[in-house]
Structure 1
Amino acid sequence: MAGQQAFWIDGRSDRERVRYSGVSHYSERVWENIGEFEEVWGDIAPVAFACAAWRIATPPLTSPGFVRWHRRILSASCERNTWDGSLTARVTIVSPLPAALTVSRGWWRDRGWRDWPEIFGQFVEPAEQDLAKVPYLRPTLLVDAPVPLDDLPAAPDGPAHDLAETAHRALAVLVRELNDLLAPVVTHLEQNPR
């Protein structure tokens, strides 16, 4: 099996959802949410700008997101590390049960434990009616990882005409770096689901 993509930019959906600019729905979203960049103009580090660009490209600010992710990824955010100002990605990934719980099923005690429900291949929250009947154990992996800053574009000095283009470049770098980090994890989980 070839490697899985963990993240990608959905250019086709972006072009289909354009409302008034004729260029890009994401560009429109950047200008509609310009307040996200309020504290980042002229910042010496590109981190806060990249994080704002990411927030605008992902749910809940844009749904479906301009940046899309693999079905095992439940959430992905980018944050400035308060210790040194670097960029930290925080990603939650659906996981199979840990090995310690699969060695023996004695802990089940005939309660009918279930893991992640799937609808059309997507991991979903169990419905309230299902939670009233059986217990669920839905394991996740929480990834906190530094993201290299080398290729991130500099934060603009203000809302210039190339703001959306600069935000798009920041997203492309973040997607590339997160894929480099997490695509092998996602591929392994897909190849070894239980």
Structure 2
Amino acid sequence: MRERNAFWIDHDYDRAQSSDPVGRYAAYVAANSDLFRPTLEDIAPVRFACLAWELATQPRLSPGFVRWHSRILDASCRQGDWDGGLDAQIRMVSPRPGQLSASRVWEHDRGWRDWPQVFGQFVEPSPERTAAHPYLRAVLLAQTPLPVAELPPLPAHDKDIPQHAERAVSVIVRELNDQLNPILRSLDEA
């Protein structure tokens, strides 16, 4: 089941919802290949992969090329400041910390609420709700380096950009799943 993974790509949906046989994402990348040109001058494919991830997760493709677990609020990649490697940052919905769950003394009968859910998806409470009730929404921030050895090399030609972007995104999805799936399982069981 996909919800057991932190991230996944629904290739069938992407192709079925596109007028282009290569799929929505590949067509979108091809139409925006000029955005990738500055990254093609780099030695390593890190900035290329980060841009590929950004396009795969942005609202323009709704749903995105990359989908994620209901606990994940957002996920981004960037080139690391220290070594130029590939760094990921993921914000996840979490249950309240144990210290706050064990004792309710801190609540003072104010009716603190957790994350609201709509059809199983965690959502931001509306301004109307936050005006009426206090909310304590716990968030975990995962910051992790990802290995770059499996990233595809930079494409030699513009026509290869979509294929290389898809491969880069697939590698990021696999690496993030490897690191985050155990965390999400633990959160879901809590």
- 2:97 alignment partner in structure 1: 98
| Aligned amino acid, residue 4 of structure 2 | Q
Q: Distance in 2 between matches of 1:101 and 1:185?
A: 20
Which structure has more helix as a fraction of its residues? 2
Deviation per CA, 1:135-156: give whole Å up to 9, x if none.
0011000010000011101122
Letter in 2 for 1:170: A
Segments of structure 1 that go 5 or more residues without pairing to the other structure are none
Picking from 139, 156, 162, the partner of 2:160 is 162
**Number of matched residues?**
190
Kept in 2: contact 1:41–1:156 (CA 8 A):
yes
Structure 2: how far apart are the matches of 1:4 and 1:139? Answer: 21
Distance 2:34 2:22 in 1: 21
Secondary structure of the residue aligned to 2:70 is coil
Q: In structure 2, list runs of 5 or more residues that go unmatched.
A: none
1:133 CA displacement: 0.9
Structure 1 residue identity aligned to 2:167: R
Q: Distance in 2 between matches of 1:38 and 1:165?
A: 15
Aligned residues of 1:6 and 1:70 also touching (Cα < 8 A): yes
Q: How does 1:136-175 map to 2 (within 5 A)?
A: 136-159=135-158, 161-175=159-173
The superposition leaves residues 142-189 of structure 1 with CA deviations (integer Å, 9 ceiling, x where unpaired) of: 010000011101122452x22111111111111100000001101111
Q: Could you say what secondary structure the match of 1:14 adopts?
A: helix
- Give the TM-score of the pair, scaled to structure 2: 0.94
Scaled by the length of structure 1, the TM-score of the pair is 0.92
Tell me the distance in 2 between the aligned counterparts of 1:151 and 1:145: 16
Distance 1:110 1:16 in 2: 51
Q: How far off its partner does 1:17 sit? A: 1.7
User: Helix, strand or coil for the counterpart of 2:163?
Assistant: helix
Q: Is the 8 A contact 2:33 2:161 kept in 1?
A: no
State the Cα deviation string for residues 80-114 of structure 1 (Å, max 9, x = none). 00111001000000000001111211110111000
Cα distance in structure 2, aligned partners of 1:83 and 1:48: 14
1:2-26 deviation digits (Å, cap 9, x = unpaired): x92111011122012212x222111
